[in-house]
Amino acid sequence: MDKFLSFSILVKYWGMYLEGFLNTLQVSLIALVGSFILGTLLAVMRISPVKPLNWISTAFVEFIRNIPLILIVFLFFLGPSSLGVPMSGFVAGTLGLTIYTAVFIAEAVRAGIQAVPKGQTEAARASGLTYAQTMRFIVLPQAMKIVIPPIGNQFLNLVKNSSVLSVVAGLDLMYYADLISTKTFVVFSVYIFVALFYLVITIPLSLGLAYVERRLAKSH
pLDDT digits (tens, 9 = 90+) for 119-137: 888 888 888 888 888 888 8
Tell me the per-residue pLDDT of 89-114, one tens digit each, with 9 for 90 and over. 888 889 999 999 999 999 999 999 99
CA-to-CA separations, 143 to 12, 19, 55, 149, 167, in angstroms, rounded? 48, 38, 22, 12, 36
Q: What is the pLDDT of residue 1?
A: 44
CA atoms within 13 A on the CB side of 73: 23
Q: For residue 61, is pLDDT > 80?
A: yes
Q: CB-side exposure of 124: number of CA atoms within 13 Å?
A: 18
pTM score > 0.85 for this model?
yes
**170-206 pLDDT tens trace:** 688 999 999 999 999 888 999 999 999 999 999 999 9
